[in-house]
Structure 1
């Protein structure tokens, strides 16, 4: 097996190895992305080169023992985003090996930050996908013996290629190997699947022959095996520790909890259970015992020792550091990040982001109830609020930020009502006793309380609209200024409230109409005058009555995401008067053939940016970025061409101030700087940057205005402007107009305006890069006739 891939973001590959195929992003957008991964749950640790490396769920962080600095390695740097199972640092080769649950191996070269993706196991067709997990790396004489769910594979670190694979089960069958160790030129393997402990001579040269592997036990499941000096220790699944003596097992100790990590550090044996770390000398004398305590209430996962300091991986506190002679005191070490990688909903304000971790299924089942707290990002710092600070509100889901008071945030609970947060602190939980909210009523359980609150949105007047499932009046409004609640019935179209499983997304249009995504009734429209209607049937051109997401764009058109595709309601104004309203399919030309856009795709979310472009998330195909009419795909990001950790998009939110697009996936949160900002009301704060444009910026001449790393930006624009750029003598250099010169246009403009931002590649009307000099930026609002003049200096 010799097929490897190199994923690279930062540098040009200087050497190409034999039989290595190279894959990289078609365009380098790496510095447009940011990652926000959780580092609370540490799966494995390793040490080397004066650093401790820790594997979180799908990201790596290192702790420099000399400087105390933390660095991260994530999908932004090229990791796959898959679930990590084990890591190992090689001092000899100065590299970090990373093993994943699906058989992928990645090698991080510390010298140049390159990542080599080894896909041989992942793509091996003769091995079942469920048997490819990487369990352990054992480096010995330039080879790494890789313990997997099917057996053992050898990898040559000198040549960066695979050697043999050993199926060591009875009759040469595949068997799960959890760990290997080597003593006196013999390799020992701890096996599951009743495989016991097995060993073979390394110099036999024929380890591929299963008959060379001797069974030291009659069956049994063994979770680990490790050499310390001239002794070999192994742990059985019954929590018992054995020493291997003369091919027999001598039981030494039985632990209260199953040891989940066994390793050799210098001359010490380190054994980790979920509540304790035990450190033994080479003669199995207990040196120290570190335990979970009331202040650091967590579960241990792994541990190592460097210079008398014990570094313990945990499921909720990152790494805990303690001294081997005083294990009563801990220091928590982890990079800044959210509580979890499994965000349910996200909501961005201006320069901040809120994240919830509650949940309900696609069938709106809220059980089991989640008590997971909240996270919010502010001033580039994560604030993680535990459940016990949130007034007992469970299953926190949707988020609504008051646009007139951004410090006031309302969090929907799909069980307990609505939680109001002020300045990051929970102040009141609205429920059936103190608000207009109401619980569902189940006659079979008359005392049951369940306020299934989902989406909430603020309208232009500062009133919050919110949805409650399983009640007769599911649409409610709340005015934070007056404290008044109102409720609106859906009985006209849903006579029995239990006939609708639940309501998800909510959008408000320019005419005051409410558009509601439902599970059984498609899109429900509720007009500002109290009319109600739904769009759900095949006769109305709906591919499914199950609607997941709705969004209103700048043209007051309704974009609809269903379980089976995308639709648009172009005429929302006449929807309630039209006796036979229908949704429209977006048809594009694919190699000249008319094709329905996103046909049969499970659409998970739709968001509209300041340029009126559409971000559309899917269940398993990544995220799409479309032009305002959907006819052009500006980007299609997946795990194979971007830092997305998963192709399953759970939610999208856009910062209206800077156009940054936050993307929540099933395995973590990332963001992308698209540049599509919201227009301003006036031109007063319009500005141009960078200014001056210096030669070292190297931003002029790019033909791709969608890459906002290039080009000169003009921000703070109003909705409908014309911009002329002239030289100091008044000669026209270039010109652009809102809604005409769009970045996504096939015309490949040199100067384009999208929403509140314009971008110019520095070329004139003759398509040549302009010379050094002073240029005037003349901005005219075509609606209000407001004008503004900016000066720009270009130095080439």
Structure 2
């Protein structure tokens, strides 16, 4: 009676706790790293490889690579194992959290199965999915609590087996079936257990017999033999009634797989491939070119595919070991990108993070990535002069091929034409090391840099007397500016996060313990000021992490306790009692502070003066220019973001693509707006002609930039009229009036330097086939431009 009730309950949970995920590929693009591989499986002449939180498929016959990530509907959580069912053409993806996702090869859909994830009687640390094993349409799931059974035909759960003493939850590393008995390799000294597959009462732990004692990491059936590996590295051959130790592996297997009638053991530094007689066919190890740790391996068509920590999947022959072939999709070095810069036609990415207390330790030395022409490239770590903790990226505004990257330990790195050329430190520049009792200790903590309008590069260094520096790339001249009037002597709290320079040349600096600072060397009387009191709307525990100047020269400030705005930056030095403002919004008729208490990690302003705001644990917000309207709020629940922890945001102003670096991967979003041009000379309309197969006319969502007729190359304030060839007005829009984000369901709207028309006229009807005239007028300069577009219905 108990068993039937339990099974019914599990089935109900299985049916109710699954759901198909959304495909976000229309507007989003994933930029995941596929260097570190968790698992590799085979199926239908393909291999499937799981990285940290994304999967790629490699067709061994065509060499085609396909990625499956959060953009295609995966959760973005940390993957622990894979399995491919050739019978059902399902790829099962298991996660450390207990989540299982079923990817259908036939329709590219993703089914999220959350039964294990949401089980209340299993602690979260025990929910990790360790392995899948299929038998006649039933998948036996090895977990850290026991074994669960999943029916691929009905896509629903069956029984769960807690097989420890007294029905305790124990770790099961792997399951196999041999001679109609199910074997479980158990951890923590719980041995190798078995039970008859036909036993109707397997949920009773007493039906499970311990075959071998100890801790077992793997168990596999190969043809008519059974093999189990103990944590001591000893391999046992089991015939059902007895066991024999046949050899000892040189390392503990991280993965044990049967494929192509071969048994493959993957160890940290070795992969062994055995035939059905358990004769060693081939062994593989790292090489000088591929010096890495192995994680997993499978065989297919007399070839081996090895998952690594650094090079994706390595392919080699079984008959004769040749040079490795590297297989992986193009992507960045790692998922944990810390800083981004997409302000030029190149997207730069660095990995040198420091803590919220401005501590760079433990020091990490990693390379640099840049994304150009739709491909990721590496600048290797051994070419960076030993610089560690590289973070903020600042291209020269007058020479985009020259890029400066801050090091929060070694100073400032200069890159020219994608090659590191100079590392500026205390020996060859005006940069200074913090002072300790050790005269040989050099530690130059540069966090933020920015160019002013004259081409001077300004930098801010923590824990020194003169933290603000200027550098002229043309003359090589350095200047230093002391903060001792406010901060004396330098100590561990004299740290700085961000730097912004306004149109008046004032340097705005976000600090750890000294509030918001302003420095303008052109102010003769007290060029250094700060705001750090409750009277100025600054909390004593507030850290000023991120700064952004908008198109009205207003300073938007991200702190550890929410959002602040300094509206009058131009009159700051004349104001004897300046104050930061909170953004007050109405929510269901109640006034509240926008993003109150949120840790704001980054703020960026787009061509429409809208604000992109990243947070520590609440995802990304996209606000109207005044913050009163939330246009988007992206989280892991409603978008392909793999994490709600946002490290950085950067905008490619030329095409309106927004890049978001999270703790678990980089995503880009086609927002659709663009920066404005100085004149209308390069204004154009596309697509042109609008052909019938471009099936977007008459749609209503102007926020989907894959649809609609676009007009780009606009200036800051324009009015646009669209008429038919006879001069009848069809549609009209004006900058700052007809906004895509307004929610007013416009047929024609302008976002920065781009306008979008949905093909409907003033009567809200789709226009007929014909030529339409676009009349653009600049409201400030009175410049005009006439374009024509052919619409074919």
Tell me if the contact between 2:21 and 2:111 (Cα under 8 Å) persists in the aligned partners: no
Q: Deviations over 1:420-456 (max 9, x none)?
A: 11111111111111111111111x2221101111111
Q: Deviations over 1:630-686 (max 9, x none)?
A: 111111111111111111111000001111000000110010011121111111101
Tell me if the contact between 1:511 and 1:528 (Cα under 8 Å) persists in the aligned partners: no
577, 586, 589: which one aligns with 2:586: 589
Looking at structure 2, the residues matched to 699 and 245 of structure 1 have their Cα atoms a distance apart, in angstroms, of 65
Q: How does 1:188-587 map to 2 (within 5 A)?
A: 188-218=183-213, 220-442=214-436, 444-530=437-523, 531-543=527-539, 544-587=541-584
Query: Which secondary structure state, in structure 1, belongs to the residue aligned with residue 166 of structure 2?
Result: helix
Judged with a 3 Å threshold, the aligned counterparts in structure 2 of structure 1 residues 3 and 651 are, in CA distance, closer, same or farther, namely: farther
100, 107, 111: which one aligns with 1:112: 107
The Cα RMSD (Å) is 1.7
Per-residue deviation at 1:784?
Answer: 2.1
Matched, 1:612 2:609: yes
2:747 matched residue in structure 1? 750
Tell me if the contact between 2:739 and 2:751 (Cα under 8 Å) persists in the aligned partners: yes
Judged with a 3 Å threshold, the aligned counterparts in structure 2 of structure 1 residues 546 and 410 are, in CA distance, closer, same or farther, namely: same
Query: Which secondary structure state, in structure 2, belongs to the residue aligned with residue 45 of structure 1?
Result: strand
Looking at structure 1, the residues matched to 138 and 475 of structure 2 have their Cα atoms a distance apart, in angstroms, of 71
Per-residue deviation at 1:416?
Answer: 0.9
Per-residue deviation at 1:368?
Answer: 1.1
Looking at structure 2, the residues matched to 347 and 228 of structure 1 have their Cα atoms a distance apart, in angstroms, of 52
2:6 matched residue in structure 1? none
Tell me if the contact between 2:621 and 2:630 (Cα under 8 Å) persists in the aligned partners: yes
Looking at structure 2, the residues matched to 194 and 230 of structure 1 have their Cα atoms a distance apart, in angstroms, of 27
Q: Which runs of 5+ in 2 are unaligned?
A: 1-9
Tell me if the contact between 1:198 and 1:213 (Cα under 8 Å) persists in the aligned partners: yes
Q: Deviations over 1:298-355 (max 9, x none)?
A: 1111111111111111110111110001224211111111110010111113332000
Looking at structure 1, the residues matched to 594 and 258 of structure 2 have their Cα atoms a distance apart, in angstroms, of 56
623, 642, 645: which one aligns with 1:645: 642
Judged with a 3 Å threshold, the aligned counterparts in structure 2 of structure 1 residues 2 and 460 are, in CA distance, closer, same or farther, namely: farther
Per-residue deviation at 1:193?
Answer: 2.2
Looking at structure 2, the residues matched to 575 and 88 of structure 1 have their Cα atoms a distance apart, in angstroms, of 62
132, 136, 147: which one aligns with 1:137: 132
Looking at structure 2, the residues matched to 259 and 78 of structure 1 have their Cα atoms a distance apart, in angstroms, of 32
Query: Which secondary structure state, in structure 2, belongs to the residue aligned with residue 326 of structure 1?
Result: coil
Looking at structure 1, the residues matched to 167 and 645 of structure 2 have their Cα atoms a distance apart, in angstroms, of 38
Number of equivalent positions: 780
1:8 matched residue in structure 2? none
What TM-score do you get using the length of structure 1 for normalisation? 0.95
Tell me if the contact between 1:521 and 1:545 (Cα under 8 Å) persists in the aligned partners: no
2:4 matched residue in structure 1? none
2:676 matched residue in structure 1? 679
Per-residue deviation at 1:499?
Answer: 4.8
Query: Which secondary structure state, in structure 2, belongs to the residue aligned with residue 204 of structure 1?
Result: coil
Query: Which secondary structure state, in structure 1, belongs to the residue aligned with residue 535 of structure 2?
Result: helix
Q: Deviations over 1:143-180 (max 9, x none)?
A: 00000111110000111100000111111010111111
Judged with a 3 Å threshold, the aligned counterparts in structure 2 of structure 1 residues 4 and 94 are, in CA distance, closer, same or farther, namely: farther
Matched, 1:695 2:689: no
Tell me if the contact between 2:237 and 2:245 (Cα under 8 Å) persists in the aligned partners: yes
Tell me if the contact between 1:2 and 1:20 (Cα under 8 Å) persists in the aligned partners: no
Per-residue deviation at 1:221?
Answer: 2.2
Q: How does 1:13-92 map to 2 (within 5 A)?
A: 19=16, 22=19, 30-92=25-87
Tell me if the contact between 2:702 and 2:758 (Cα under 8 Å) persists in the aligned partners: yes
Looking at structure 2, the residues matched to 130 and 363 of structure 1 have their Cα atoms a distance apart, in angstroms, of 29
682, 703, 707: which one aligns with 2:704: 707
What TM-score do you get using the length of structure 2 for normalisation? 0.96
Tell me if the contact between 1:3 and 1:118 (Cα under 8 Å) persists in the aligned partners: no
Query: Which secondary structure state, in structure 1, belongs to the residue aligned with residue 485 of structure 2?
Result: coil
Tell me if the contact between 2:18 and 2:113 (Cα under 8 Å) persists in the aligned partners: no
Query: Which secondary structure state, in structure 1, belongs to the residue aligned with residue 71 of structure 2?
Result: coil
Per-residue deviation at 1:551?
Answer: 0.5
Looking at structure 2, the residues matched to 688 and 3 of structure 1 have their Cα atoms a distance apart, in angstroms, of 54
Q: How does 1:154-165 map to 2 (within 5 A)?
A: 154-165=149-160
Query: Which secondary structure state, in structure 1, belongs to the residue aligned with residue 668 of structure 2?
Result: strand
Looking at structure 2, the residues matched to 756 and 553 of structure 1 have their Cα atoms a distance apart, in angstroms, of 16
Looking at structure 1, the residues matched to 611 and 322 of structure 2 have their Cα atoms a distance apart, in angstroms, of 54
Judged with a 3 Å threshold, the aligned counterparts in structure 2 of structure 1 residues 500 and 737 are, in CA distance, closer, same or farther, namely: same
Tell me if the contact between 1:102 and 1:133 (Cα under 8 Å) persists in the aligned partners: yes
Per-residue deviation at 1:214?
Answer: 1.0
